Amino acid sequence: MKTKHLTSIRDLSGAEIMDVLVQTKKLKALSYKGKNPQAMKGKVLAMIFQKPSTRTRVSFETGAFQLGGTAIYLSSHDTQLGRGESVPDSARVLSRFCDIIMARVFGHSDIENLAKYATVPVINGLSDFSHPCQILADLFTIYEKGRKINKNLKVAYIGDGNNITHSWIFAAGKVGFRFVSASPSGYEPLKEVVEEARRDAKKSGAVIEVTNDPVEAAKGADVIYTDTWASMGQEKEHDARVKIFMPYQVNQRLVSSAKKDCLVMHCLPAHRGEEITDEVMDGPNSIVFDEAENRLHVQKTVMIELLKNAVSLRS
């Protein structure tokens, strides 16, 4: 991994994405044997949370601990980030105290500014535009299940064209698989994201499609993926969105349009009975909780790789 920061999947090449998967498989095997490399010994991870999260906090904090490091949790009540102090100044200050920064924010511009002004690696733990760690974990889970990530793989995303969708689109363009996004009219992924990924697809052989038909998207899919219909910060839109998105529910009828051995994925937290039914989420095709666990293992790989390239003020 040549990049200093991970702000988006587009920071990585297709080869680098695949290398993360290979390295994570080795690292996970070592972790299960209790032989975690101590790559973060004596190092500190600063975790900035404008948005709270169970999986992001626990996976990063556990990962830092397993690698021999320490993590500091900084909620919106614990810092002056974007309130009394500018993001650039916060980045400069945290770089003097810590060795690596992870931030889970609302606006993607905060991630970009942290990366621009920090002198230590910055990891995007989620922004309104991108969620790279989640998609790396998703790809690793598919890879771990023995599926080949190539032009013969079809991933169908059903739901809101959000940060998860953007990251999937970038990943498809980089690595070279087929990705179909199905969303209601007016809720599709950003056109500029699709256009950029299609430029990458000319080299990788990827096929990237956007449709309003969930059944067509799911037809013959190897993977069906969904996410909540109303993300954090969109709570007031929840009831209206449920009415609009109900035809996009991942239920058994929709899953029957995919391959019999398709993998069903959800980045969590799930609103059962809305975007996904209990029958599907707890069914034989679901790998949702394997996917959740793999956030830990992928993020450990990301931290190790970024720290290799880090040029700290203290070095």
* Residue positions annotated with a catalytic role: 104, 131, 134, 227, 267, 295
38: helix, strand or coil: coil
Q: Residue 127's Cα: distance from chain center in Å?
A: 10
Q: Which of 163, 106, 102 is nearest to 131 (CA)?
A: 163
Distance in angstroms (rounded) separating the CA atoms of residues 101 and 114: 9
Q: Is 34 exposed, middle or buried (CB count within 10 Å of its CB: 0-12, 13-18, 19+)?
A: exposed
Structure-token match 């790989």, residue found: 301
Structure-token match 């733990």, residue found: 125
Q: Residue 292's Cα: distance from chain center in Å?
A: 11
Under 8 Å CB-to-CB from 277, ≥6 apart: which residues? Answer: 249, 250, 251, 252
